[in-house]
Amino acid sequence: MAARVLDALAARGETLATAESLTGGLLAARITDVPGASGSFVGGVVSYATRVKVAVLGVPDELVAQHGVVSEQCAIAMAHGVRDRLQATWGLATTGVAGPDPQEGRAVGTVWVALADRAGATARLLDLPGDRAAIRQSTCDAVLGLLEEHLQAPKSR
């Protein structure tokens, strides 16, 4: 899937940046495993700690206080933040609970993925089964799938 996304981005002359929390760099690794990824992938931020989400990605403290980091609002702010800071066409974000314990009162497998471009943002809530490794892999699949859907849609955004 990463190869298809990168091919589509290259054909459009667009770029991608990632903001990762629970995936801890796995998304960027999957993207950079594709030969030629540097043609479209500009980089990523692993914002595992909340303070990194705030300081580096620009997620507002008030948003974290009100909604938490496992939220639609945080995922969207992360996607916008990485897109803006790394000057990419698209920003992707992952945040959620990979386990083994719940976080912020949210169950293991509760994940938000988001994408942002100049026109706005979209987020998707996931309820993923499996252990920590499976949840992280499924999160990468889901966020790449979300981008692929948008890249295949008529160019309206």
C-alpha to C-alpha distance for 126 and 28, rounded to whole angstroms: 20
Does the structure show a pLDDT above 50 at 44? yes
What pTM was estimated for this model as a whole?
0.97
For Cα atoms 36, 38, 39, give the angle at the middle one, nearest 5 degrees: 75
> Under a CB-based contact definition with an 8 Å cutoff, are residues 102 and 132 in contact?
no
Q: What is the pLDDT of residues 76-128, one digit of tens each?
A: 999 999 999 999 999 999 999 999 999 999 999 999 999 999 999 999 999 99
Return the pLDDT at 156. Answer: 47
* Residue 98 neighbours by CB under 8 Å, 6+ apart: 22, 108, 111, 132, 135, 136, 139
Does the structure show a pLDDT above 70 at 63? yes
Does the structure show a pLDDT above 60 at 69? yes
What's the mean per-residue pLDDT of the chain? 97
Return the pLDDT at 155. Answer: 63
Which strand ranges, in their side-by-side order, compose the sheet holding 110-117? Answer: 41-46, 16-20, 90-96, 110-117, 120-127
Does the structure show a pLDDT above 80 at 3? yes
Q: Select from 3.40.50.2300, 3.30.450.20, 3.90.950.20, 3.40.50.12780 the CATH code of 2-152.
A: 3.90.950.20
Return the pLDDT at 153. Answer: 85
Extended strands (E) in 14-148:
16-20, 41-46, 90-96, 110-117, 120-127
Return the pLDDT at 154. Answer: 76
